[in-house]
Each structure stands twice: as structure tokens, then as C-alpha cells.
Amino acid sequence: MKYFSIFIPDAKTGLVGPPAGKQKEDMDRFVGEALARGEFLSGGGFLCLKEHGAVVRRSNGESRVIDGPYVETKELIGGFAMLQYDSREAAIDGAKRFMEVAGDGECLTYAIAEGHDDC
């Protein structure tokens, strides 16, 4: 089953910005090993929303771009991954292994419905 995972670093103690030095080496190794096992399908870190992205909101039939306020620094999303695991338990284990490299924060891991009967 495919999973979509979002990493939210702890603003006080977690990774803020791209990994560097030993942490980058550890992250590259982690991703390489997950690729070799067939678990890592795609992923990456997010650039600053205000400068490189947009929030588009639709309400009452109209779409508009929101100029802010954006989520607080403590709620920044660090990155995402599309993953492949045989079970929910394996996905949870993968998230725990990722967090050992990424540091403090949260890893939200969602199973992807690939058909109408998955729920």
C-alpha cells in the first residue's frame, strides 16, 4: 500500500531548513536504503511558502490567493514522502526510523486510497 508522509519539525529542537553536514549524510543514506528496499517512491523538502508557493482558497464559488497570515514557524512543514509498505505497522516503523535521522517533530503518515473500496 502507498503512504503519504509529512514531516513537521519541532521548531525548538528539530530540523529547520535543509539538512547539512552529518545529518545530510545520514538522510542521504536513509533515503538510499529505503530506495533499495522499494519503500521510498518520491519526496523532498519544502521551500518557503510565502516566497515560492501559494495558498489558494475557494469559497462561495470564487478562488483567491491568500497573502497571509501563514502557519506559525512552530508549525512549518519540513518535507514529504510517497512511500510503499506492506502494512500500517511497517509504515509506522518506517516513520520512526526516519525520525531517528530527521530529529524531533511529528511525522503524519496517511494511507493512500487507490480505489473506491479502500475505506
Give bridge partners of residue 56 from the DSSP assignment: 65
pLDDT digits (tens, 9 = 90+) for 39-79: 999 999 887 777 888 889 999 999 999 876 665 554 577 88
Q: Which domains does the chain have, with CATH numbers?
A: 2-111 (3.30.70.1060)
Answer yes or no: pTM beyond 0.75. Answer: yes
The percent of residues in the chain predicted with pLDDT above 70, rounded, is 86
